Every structure is written in C-alpha cells, then in structure tokens.
Amino acid sequence: MTFKNLLLSIAALTLAFQVQLAQAANPKVKMETSKGTMIIELYPDKAPKTVENFLRYVNDGSYDGTIFHRVIKDFMNQGGGFTEDYKKVDTRDPIQNEADNGLKNLKYTVAMARTGEPHSATNQFFINTADNDFLNYTGKNMRGWGYTVFGKVIEGQNIADVISRAATGSGGPFSKDVPLTQITIKKMTEIKE
C-alpha cells in the first residue's frame, strides 16, 4: 500500500466514524401509543428550534395522554394537541418555521403542524404516511413556507401504518378525520443514551 493510499484509507475511516458519531448524537424519542411503540430520531442540526421545542413538550410530559385527533389515510397522522376528552393542551409561544432546512415531507418523517400562518407551530406534530411533496418548502412567502420536518420514525413504522388505517369520522369538536376508536399517546420520553 502506498503512502497516498494509506492516507486515503485513514480519511475514509475517519469520515465513516464521524458519520456514525453524528447519527448516534441525534436525540431519539420513544412514543408509546395505544397501538404500539415508535422511536423517532430528531435532527437538531437541520431544525434546532423545532427540535428544542418538541423536546421541551416531551420532557415536561405535555404529550402524555394526548390523542391522534386527525388521521387521513395515505396522508398523515396528527396529534399532540388534544387530550382524550378533546381539551386543548396548553402551549408555549409559536416557533419560527424552519422548513427551509432541506428535509422533505417523505413517508415516516415527522413535521410540525401549524395554521395558515407560517410561523404558528406550537405543540402539534404529524407523521407523514406518504410522500407529501406539496408540504415542502418552496419559498419565503405565504404559499411557499411549507411544514418543518424535524425527525423520522426509525422504529415502529408499522405502527404509523396501523394508525393511518383507522376508521375515522366526527369526534369532539371535529366534523371529520377523527379515529372512531381513540388512539392515545400514552407516554413520550427522550431516550437517554
């Protein structure tokens, strides 16, 4: 092996090790639901404010006992904002939209829900159950802001699929898309490694 090849091999190994470290450093959250457990990997390097906001809600127990209140097959599962008796969960101030981070609303990614105002996300999130390109960032204007992707379901994707197939109708204050049998987020915890 030449000295140049040795240096290239060392550089390749160093890069591979750095990639592994970066992946290991991403925070993970365990979401225990009435349908099963999912593990979500978060991307603070791409959406730092969003991840910080989400983890604050996770770590203070705000998501425990909430429901998936909006489920649309082949689109997404939305939750985190309402209790089992459809009471709205207390929220903090809205956060800055970080959808211009290069991440796309692909199947099993997790993104922040919001109103029509681009910078209105608080605690509600959704799991994409299809590739939803129309939710991606296209520009800093009312139509182009998109929805901030900040994580991905890396274990329990089958649970996201089960939730997405729930029969829906009206429930509480909502006229449609509510699972007829409630799907509860029993507990969310940050996984400490």
In this structure, is residue 103 part of a structural domain?
Answer: yes
In this structure, is residue 70 part of a structural domain?
Answer: yes
* Tally of domains within the chain: 1
Is there a contact between 148 and 155 (Cβ–Cβ < 8 Å)?
no
Residues 6+ apart with CB under 8 A from 147: 99, 105, 111, 112, 113, 114, 126, 135, 136
Does the pLDDT at position 108 exceed 60? yes
Coil vs helix vs strand at 74: coil
**What is the per-residue pLDDT across 42-80, written as a single tens digit (0 to 9) for each?**
999 999 999 999 999 999 999 999 999 999 999 999 999
Is this prediction's pTM over 0.85? yes
Residue 41: give the domain boundaries: 27-191
In this structure, is residue 19 part of a structural domain?
Answer: no
Distance in angstroms (rounded) separating the CA atoms of residues 7 and 24: 26
Supply the CATH number for residue 148's domain: 2.40.100.10
In this structure, what are the phi and psi dihedrals at residue 187, rounded to the nearest 5 degrees?
-160, 140
pLDDT confidence bin for 25, thresholds 50/70/90? confident
In this structure, is residue 4 part of a structural domain?
Answer: no
Rg, Å, the chain Cα set: 19
Distance in angstroms (rounded) separating the CA atoms of residues 60 and 52: 12
Percent of the chain with pLDDT over 70: 88
In this structure, is residue 178 part of a structural domain?
Answer: yes
- How many alpha carbons fall within 13 Å on the CB side of residue 14? 6
In this structure, is residue 16 part of a structural domain?
Answer: no
From start to end of 14-148, where are the E strands? 28-33, 36-42, 66-72, 76-83, 109-112, 125-128
